Structure 1
């Protein structure tokens, strides 16, 4: 059965070398797929399948001898050019890497340590120049843009995943979307492997992908071994990198309550965590009461503390909730904006509800994967190698990385008289564009992390992707088509800080006052 890539390659060949329109190419592909050729055991839906058939069979499939000859010649030339490129790579590798005679027992590709693997997959360092980001426009198709979007999103929704896992999972999401589009366009049937139920599955941007646990994969290396030496060196920046969970807000008689919680490892983390919270969201400083309670294990005993901040018995109530849930290593904060009407016992019900809503995010278990690093499984690997040769068909992170590095060019220059850029200049330009794109996505996600839970952030991400992806035709007509992405559109989606909102409101009010004071 032809894969989505086979269909894309065939469509490109028909619209390129054979100079057919996209509509004609699609009709020809469907004719090749639906041809009733009883003596063939495969569909004529890939370039290799067409190149291996004869002119008579192809003529009966598409109903035109001239068109059949042209298509057969183009497919054979395509296969020949691919084989020539492969032979060239083999010769180059032989001259560079195999000058000495190797032992027949020597491994050609030495396995890397986790630290070496992660280092080899590093992406371009994101730029911190927000003005340069807002000016940048990249030219790409939707698949690599979705891959970049997913890789950066997973930094904040699944921070326990190393870069190799994020690249693999991102490619799994891209593959899921391509299969979904191919099936809905009737260009391929649903592969039975898509419905296999073995192995855990996770949802990323509402797309369900099958994963494989990488148990025992210690990708942090020496950082884990020296962790105890760094625990005393706690500062606001380190603690603020941890993710605050946030509850839904509840309002009763003009009083509003919101709960937040974060993991802590020692009592010294509390002050830094609170300072980081108020710095990140200065609107919390306007709360009438900021009730806090925390519990943390120190040695064999539990250290705990609470602060009412004017809400009588409020801190003790939060501490009782933590004790009742048998939770430690948690700082719980409830903010109350008093509306002028006393609530009485009703306040305990609301405080309890927002607190438990927030703490439930710490208790949630994602299937059976826990905190293990993951691979995205490629259940549609149709390669001719056996499962033993392939080991396990996972989406390889190095291929996903190469795809990203080669996909984000600048828009084509309409001035054809300009000097053509060198290959090195084009590569560097793509690398720089990728760095700007990754930083734009970082700015977007960071602005929302303290206000949305990981699940909520993941749920919103597809909408953000849909608003900013390249503008191409929907359906098969847009396959492989490229469009522009303005990084300023991504920056417009970030959450405005309270200071920005205040400045905006002040400016609006000033404009209204000036308008009213102007004589008519």
Structure 2
């Protein structure tokens, strides 16, 4: 029986060391398990033709084999005996190269966004400088906290990024920057569940077995005994023979349809391919953290040349700006959440975004252009005091 820890280690090796896309790595775990290839050492000794059969691509198979050989060599150099250090010869604990994946709760903690700032006096005087895509991302992440509160932060970030990317692709085709139909219009991802976010239908993958909240000891033991029977998974958390029976909705990933289309273009793979690329939570978080600047004040001839800012101070400023933006959005959604259903709140959110987004040139000239956003404009969209009484 294969433990969750062994599968976590295998996924870590495939995605980090062998550079196999996570969606594809997830789809190959069961085949590697059947072939008893669960560690870099085992893969390094495997017959290349077997790997080629599993990965269905000679280049990727060679990539995995070479990565396994490098990993095995590193481990051998760090422990020539292969037995591990004895307490007498090496009192310091050596960190394993593999097998130390983060727990789901640790993953969620690592994705924490800056604390939302809800002080209205501060927010009313704040203006940020950004472009439209990350603003949509912030709007959606904040929205999902109210419309899908059962989802972990990793899922909310992934789903929000799906909305942003699909909107950007549609816009790029519309203004002539990109050609052809979108993967969404061509039907890629058919067969996968659909949810509606910001008036956009998003294809999702269910992350059965991903328990990001603390569980009892008994449940943890049960999870450790599970074996891989599905290709649907998450960053290190896998499922057993059947989906959970409890009513709790599983966590979700947003599927990257354009990446799916690109990976399967010209191949014989069907549009419902099991190798599903996803929008990563880490990527969405990084995009948010770097995207909200403070507008540069117009300098006059009488003003001295400003002191050059350090990278650290600029990063801190952007994170604080994000915290203020999230605070303003939370106040907006809170004011309406008591009277609107989750579905109606979702429908209204896009219109609110349109009303405060940066003004940019039309067509291709405005693609990626930045502009200012007054947080006071977001606050003015709130349900009025009279309406709340």
Q: Compute the TM-score of the two structures, normalised by the length of structure 1.
A: 0.46
Q: 1:380 to 1:450 in 2, by over 3 A?
A: same
Assess, with a 3 A threshold, how the Cα gap between structure 1 residues 498 and 180 changes in structure 2: closer, same or farther: same
Q: Kindly tell me: are residues 111 and 130 of structure 1, through their superposed partners in 2, closer, same or farther at Cα, counting changes over 3 Å? A: same
Q: Which residue of 2 aligns with 1:403?
A: 287
For residues 421 and 192 of structure 1, what CA distance do their matches in structure 2 show?
42
* Equivalent residue for 1:177, pick from 149, 163, 167: 167
1:156·1:449 contact (CA, 8 Å) conserved in 2? yes
Residues 212 and 103 from structure 1, CA distance in 2 versus in 1: closer, same or farther, beyond 3 angstroms?
Answer: farther
Counterpart position of 1:32 = none
CA distance in 2, matches of 1:109, 1:144: 35
3-state DSSP of counterpart to 2:128: strand
The verdict on how the C-alpha distance between 1:180 and 1:370 changes in structure 2, with shifts beyond 3 A counting, is: farther
> What are the within-5 Å matches in structure 2 for residues 157-172 of structure 1?
157-172=147-162
**Aligned-residue offset at 1:216:** 1.8
Distance 2:337 2:217 in 1: 25
What corresponds to 2:296 in structure 1?
Answer: 412
Tell me which of 205, 211, 214 is aligned to 2:204: 211
Distance 1:474 1:370, change over 3 A: farther
**Alignment partner of 1:199 is 2:189:** no
**Is 1:380 equivalent to 2:258 in the alignment?**
yes
Match of 2:180 among 186, 189, 197: 189
Q: Looking at secondary structure, tell me which structure has more strand per residue.
A: 1
Aligned residue for 1:76? none
What does residue 393 of structure 1 align with? 277
1:259-408 matched pairs, under 5 angstroms: 371-381=249-259, 382=262, 392-408=276-292
User: How far is the alpha carbon of 1:425 from its aligned partner?
Assistant: 0.9
State the Cα deviation string for residues 177-226 of structure 1 (Å, max 9, x = none).
Answer: 01111221232211456412220111111111110011121111249999
How far apart, CA to CA, are the structure 2 residues paired with 1:102 and 1:188?
52
> Of residues 117, 122, 128 in structure 2, which corresponds to 1:132?
122
Contact persistence 2:118–2:328 (CA under 8 A): no
Q: Deviations over 1:400-457 (max 9, x none)?
A: 1000000001002322711121111111100100000001000000000111000110
With over 3 angstroms needed to count, the CA separation of the structure-2 counterparts of 1:396 and 1:192, relative to structure 1, is: closer
Give yes or no for contact 2:253–2:278 (8 Å, CA) kept in 1.
Answer: yes
Q: 1:113 is matched with which residue? A: 103
Partner of 1:476: 364
Q: Which has the larger radius of gyration?
A: 1
* 3-state SS in 2 of match to 1:493: coil
Q: What is the match of residue 424 of structure 1?
A: 312
* Aligned counterpart in structure 2 of residue 496 of structure 1, from 381, 384, 388: 384
Q: 2:352 aligns with which of 460, 464, 481?
A: 464
Tell whether the 8 Å contact from 1:114 to 1:221 is kept in structure 2 after alignment: no
**Is 1:147 the counterpart of 2:25 in the alignment?**
no
Q: What residue ranges of structure 1 are gaps of 5+ in the alignment?
A: 1-97, 227-368, 502-520
Q: Distance in 2 between matches of 1:461 and 1:225?
A: 42
SS at match of 1:208: strand
Q: Is residue 452 of structure 1 aligned with residue 336 of structure 2?
A: no
CA contact (8 A) 2:158 2:278 kept: yes
Q: Is the 8 A contact 1:409 1:433 kept in 2?
A: yes
The aligned length equals 260
Give CA-to-partner distance per residue, 1:240-259, whole Å, 9 cap, x none: xxxxxxxxxxxxxxxxxxxx
The question of whether the paired residues in 1 share the 8 Å contact of 2:205 and 2:253 is answered with yes
Shift of 1:103: 7.8
Seen in structure 2, the aligned counterparts of structure 1 residues 420 and 200 have a Cα distance that, compared at 3 Å, is same
1:472 is displaced (CA, Å) by 1.1
Does the CA contact (< 8 Å) of 1:146 and 1:465 recur in 2? yes
User: Looking at both structures, which has the greater relative contact order when contacts are Cα pairs under 8 Å and sequence separation is at least 6?
Assistant: 2
Is the partner of 2:195 in helix, strand or coil? Answer: strand
Distance in structure 1 (CA, Å) of the matches to 2:145 and 2:79: 42
C-alpha displacement at 1:500, in angstroms?
Answer: 7.8
For 1:243, the equivalent position in structure 2 comes to none
